[in-house]
Amino acid sequence: MMGGLGWCISDPFMNIVDLRQTSVRQLEPLLEEEASHWRDELHWDYRGALDLIKRFLEAHALCGSVAFENGSPAGYSFYVLEEQKGLIGGLYVSNKYQQATIGRRLLEEIGRASCRERV
């Protein structure tokens, strides 16, 4: 377990870290890949949404997780808790990694975090 708000999972090559402990610079390649995916596959300009996400990341005000594989960001998720419900704001996993496994772990962490924060 990492100190403070961070945590790790059992895979020795992958760490799941609290999003608030990361920087835009660390996540930039993953964020740009996500924007390219939105543009190329879904024909949507994601830059406005990405700029908003980056502002919240810079302020360390976005609840969520990042999966790092061998030191590189492989995926991330963020969420908002509102009274009795949690809203997933986003989840993205690079196609360079095991998307199903990492995505499932990021979703599980959202569930665990929402239970911790409601207590």
Q: pLDDT tens across 38-56, in order?
A: 999 999 999 999 999 999 9
Can you tell me the distance from the alpha carbon of 25 to that of 32, in angstroms, rounded to the nearest whole number? Answer: 11
Of 3-12, 17-26, 50-59, 110-119, the one with minimum mean pLDDT is: 3-12
Of 3.40.630.30, 3.40.50.300, 3.40.50.1390, 3.50.50.60, the CATH number of 14-118 is 3.40.630.30
Distances (CA, A) of 60 to 7, 17, 38, 42, 102: 16, 13, 24, 29, 22
Q: Where are the domains of the chain?
A: 14-118
pTM: 0.83
